[in-house]
Structure 1
Amino acid sequence: ARADIENQIARTTMVVTFFNPAGRQQEGQVLLPVPSGAVLKSFAMEGTNGEFQAKILPKEEARRIYDDIVRRSKDPALLEFAGFGAVESSVFPIPPRRETKLRLVYEELLPADLDRIDYVLPRSESLDYRVKWNIEVNWRVKGGIATAYSPSHEVSPQKEDGRMRVRLGDRINPGPFRLSVLRRKKKEAVASFLTHPDEKGDGGHFLLLMAPPARDDDAPKLKREVTVVLDRSGSMAGEKLDQARAAALQVVEGLAKGEFFNLIVYNEAVDRFSAGPVEVTRENVVRARTFINGIRVSGGTNIHGALREAVAQPVRKGAVPIVLFLTDGLPTIGETSEKRIRGKISDANKNRRRIFTFGVGVDVNTPLLSRLADDSRATATYVL
């Protein structure tokens, strides 16, 4: 099946394969569920020039036919399509011991709930994985798609330039395929709330989909104030130090003019490139390169002292203050209690700097680094 959707208008193309196991030609009776309100555009056997006569039954008539078949005990599973319409037709001839493919195209206006648009492709839950089913959905929404979700199948949407593509392979879950998208808005967030009650109790489940406003390319970009804090204890000798130097220089050179930076290095002692963050200029970057290349390793690890220096700096007005903190070991100098380090740094961080921590090797105090990051609304990263 393939669905091409423009905003709320969906055009679905289904190719259905029939197999005649008998030794003679057969006539096939076709009853295919389709969404209520769909309009049939074409119904043809592949490899022939003409089209078959077919009609879409409204959901009330389709339900009557489903009930009649169930009463005759031919296919009780048809009741799962109650609420859908149906395409009814006869197909002749179906050659003996051969496959015949039918191509069905229908269009529909998809239902929308505020900013959410829903698409459903009916399919029986009684079919198993051996019955192949391929799905491709190409969806374009004016203004763009904020997010997409399928409550029935695992999907990995590919979004580009206001369009979205979803593909599912042969061996996918039986049952109807459902896909919802949220329309993006330029100046406000969008959200949708879905509920699913528990039929056996008083509880249930809910899903809240939210997406932020579209990025305004004309909006002024936030300036960053980045302080890089590097461990220069004896265990950082060799390749670790080379990589730390390269990373620090990459951060500084990656900042834009008008942004700010500082460098702090520590072992037993704590040294700073500058008393406070400086603006990115050619002269300051050259000075920073000299400072970084001059780092030498020795001694222990004063984590608390280095972090205290970083968070106590004055903040540049209008900039987002960030600390990038790197260590390869445990605190060995000064305050060494994990709990007290966290408490003291939290108290000293009056300007609410985000502390992104980087642990190198296997000897780091991962709980300390993770909690320092969590407490400051940042993240921790570990490299073995």
Structure 2
Amino acid sequence: MYRSRRLFPALRNLLALGGLLLGLAAHAGTPGSGELRLHDRAGHAQSLASLDTDVDYRVSGLVAEVQVRQQFRNTGKDWLEGDYLLPLPTGAAVYAMALDIGERHIVAEIKRKEAAQKVFEQARANGQKAALIEADSGNLFRTAVTNVAPGETVTIVLHYWQRVDYRAGGFSLRFPLTFTPRYHMREGAQPGDAGIATAQVFADDDARAPLRTHIAVRLDAGVPLVAVSSPSHAIVSERHGKRWDVRLRDASVLPDRDFVLRWQPKPQTQPNVASFSQDIDGQHYAMLMLLPPQQQAQRLPRELILIIDTSGSMGGESIRQARAALDLALSQLQPGDRFNVAEFNSILNPWRSDAVAATPEALQQARAWVDQLQARGGTEMEPALRFALAGHAPPGYVRQVLFATDGAVDDPNGLMQLIDRQLGDSRLFPIGIGSAPNAGFLQAAARHGRGSETLITDLGTLTESMQGLLARLDHPALRDIKVDWPAGTDAYPRQLPDLYLGEPLLVTAKLPQSTAQVQVHGSLADRAWTAPVDLSSPTAAEGLDRLWAQSRIADLEDQLARGGELPALTEQITRTALAAHLVSRYTSLVAVDRTPSRSADAALRHEQIPNVMPAGTHFAQTATPAELELWLALLALLLAALGWWMQKRVCR
């Protein structure tokens, strides 16, 4: 009897392990497992389509117009259709698309999403070449093309506008060349959320991925520049008067990380206020940038809550970056500060249940605890956010939450609602980690958390980025900001954030009439603050109408995330997008060649073209090589056989 009691728990453990291994082996082959393999009759893997991407920037002041050309080549013997998840910068206002086939140039139409899909499917059935661009989730767009003949190349050309970032005296732009695999959350997702509609497919780490990218930038900053640089790629830059031409040093690069370009103006030309305007179709649009005054105020004691994402998608270089970022933050704490640290993956694991005083002993223990953290499991972010925002700092303290993550979640709406409900007196500062962090989620979390995001793409820039963030957090914010716009103005963001030293206020507005001046008000640590903004002779700029529309759509989607009325908000988003000719969650661009090219009896093969796994990332969600699947299945069978033999012996 004693022997039975001893063996049955072991038997249960063996059977459970066997079931787990079988489940892993089965799940590894599901769509989105990180690999795409087509086989010929001899069983050899091959790729039948390839994709090249050319990106051309035209930067003018704080606005950039971008053209993206994607060439789909069918190198196989069958008619082909393919689709591809295209990451674009957060806030990109995608307004035009065309399909080029030889000498033919077919311009896309903007339609409601369901109508565009029907047009595409009808063209597919009719044997007509067609292309479709639709929003998938966050900053991901699905590009689809159909009826590409064997040996044929078709080119999809899309155009969008984006704002240039300005912070701490420097300008920058970022183009995401790939994305971190999104985790489908169990907690924090909301019923009816869109999620990732298209399977996430990535090339094998050791494979030669069929994607190559070329990037060129024509830069007219509007002010003299000290330097132009890229922390992400080797570039060649040439100066032509006030204009700079920038291109990648290499003719083509593997798209495994975000492209980042920075330019530094001469110190004496750094503007405290810059304004831009556009008059189009009788409408007046403006964008203003305003820097808060620099002030050296007494440092307030802080309660710093550090949250680190240790999910599987943070494996490799990302977890090293995250650990180093938190270690640097801990090293900057001073006597009188308070702090706590927590990790999360599939579960939440806090270092302490509540914040403690930043004594040398406590800091040493916390830094050792952070140093041993490893990446594994899922990305269940909701418990971590709830834990981080639940506390309250003592009187006289500022409470700041630093949240280090790659943002690899499929739909953040529920998380945004949680931040709105529980923020209290905390401020949330997401830190984007990895070669291709989910900038859209990080910016949304910062906007709802009344903080700012920091993106760290490699260890070489970690110290500089973290020290810059911590230095900003040491200075009092400009709070309670408002702009005295004339009546009838529609300006975004509607809820203006707190500002820290070096962070600008960027607002896009649609005005009822031309306006000479507006007033900006705010509260410094010790006094009220007001500054005039001259709009009588602003710099003319293009694209403000679409950037304003994109900002309005983002505001309406924030209202959806906060639980707003779905039908009314959906219709407002749709109407705004259709009027501005923009791709949105509910509108798409579709182009169809009216001449049929594939006969009804010719087979059509579908292929999803893989993205490249971000550099330094060694984990794809549910990714398991085929050889490992086989060994897991064999091991599971051996464990099951051993369990059966042990049970038989016990029964004897």
Larger radius of gyration: 1
Q: How does the TM-score come out when normalised to structure 1?
A: 0.43
Going by fraction, where is helix more abundant, 1 or 2?
A: 2
